[in-house]
Amino acid sequence: MDSYSATIIDAVEKVKTAVVKIEIFNNTNKKEQLSGTGSGFLFSSDGYLFTNSHVVHNSTNIKVKLHDGTSRQATLIGEDPDTDLAILKISDADFTPAKLGDADLLRIGQLVIAIGNPLGFHHTVTAGVVSALGRTLENQNGRMMDSMIQTDAALNPGNSGGPLINSDGEVIGVNTATIRGAQGLCFAISINTAKEIASQLIRFGKVKRAYLGIVMQQIELVPKLRAMHELPNKQALFISEVSAGSPAEKAGILSGDIIHSFNNMMIETSDNLFKQLTADKIGQFHFIGIIRSNLKKEFRITPIQRN
């Protein structure tokens, strides 16, 4: 067997028992009828699992079909439509969860594997590469989702909520979306962002976050620019759009600026920035480090609460 195939097979073996099928049922004429499906994966031995918010939104009867074919009734612990993430809980314990990786270690061109239940086909595997990192994508509610991983690993309806894994079988993203009418443009939510969201949903049932109003893309910083400004960063965030009336616009930040720090903390990825935008930052001014036309600048910015 060739090494490429062996790598994929080994990675899938490590996570496949943690991948589940999400089934949404409606009661019609006192009969239980399947109305939708999606994917998910266990991340704790006591039955907590990730899926997408759009898979379970407004659902009251959710069932989870495990790898062995058995089903469990699921409870919705909480959801965050802004990041399209939801946390479910199933009963019993001693499940074998997926191992969560570190999305900050990803590199463009790296092999990734998607597992899910597209169009109801149980445990379908597709493979591709990381096409881009730190993308911002508009979700179904018109909100911008940050920290997105772009991949060409094929996704179809029903893949939503399944894991995107690396060659070691570690989950580095939660599959969420494709671009209609395009081929090879598929997206996953960074697992680092998903961890932060899960923590808040399990503790509080909702997410409270600070909002800046920018569309970003993770980029490599050229050595000359790093040396010129004595920056420790190897990467930074390129701003491709600033929302009208947003805190970023009011602070004087422009499209084309590059974020390299926030409150003197180095920012290399959108996950780094997301971790800084906690609820305690709302309504308080903070310093954001910007490179504009090869000049190093600092702006004061006051995040607002995202409703």
DSSP label at residue 73: E
Q: How many CA atoms lie within 13 A of 280 on its CB side?
A: 2
DSSP secondary structure string, 156-174?
-TT-TT-EEE-TTS-EEEE
∠ CA 23-27-33, nearest 5°, is 45
- CB neighbour list of residue 42: distance below 8 Å, 6 or more residues apart: 18, 20, 48, 49, 95, 96, 97, 98
Report residue 237 as tokens: 């965030």
Question: What is the rounded distance in angstroms from the CA atom of residue 21 to the CA atom of residue 40?
Answer: 6
DSSP label at residue 99: P
Question: What is the rounded distance in angstroms from the CA atom of residue 217 to the CA atom of residue 146?
Answer: 9
**CA 130 to each of CA 110, 135, 213, 283, 288: distance values in angstroms, whole numbers, following the listed order:** 5, 12, 26, 36, 28
What is the identity of the amino acid at 160? S
Q: Which amino acids are annotated catalytic?
A: 54, 84, 160
CB-based contact 209:277 (threshold 8 Å): yes
The label of the residue with tokens 């990803």 reads 106
Beta carbons within 10 angstroms of residue 200's beta carbon? 18
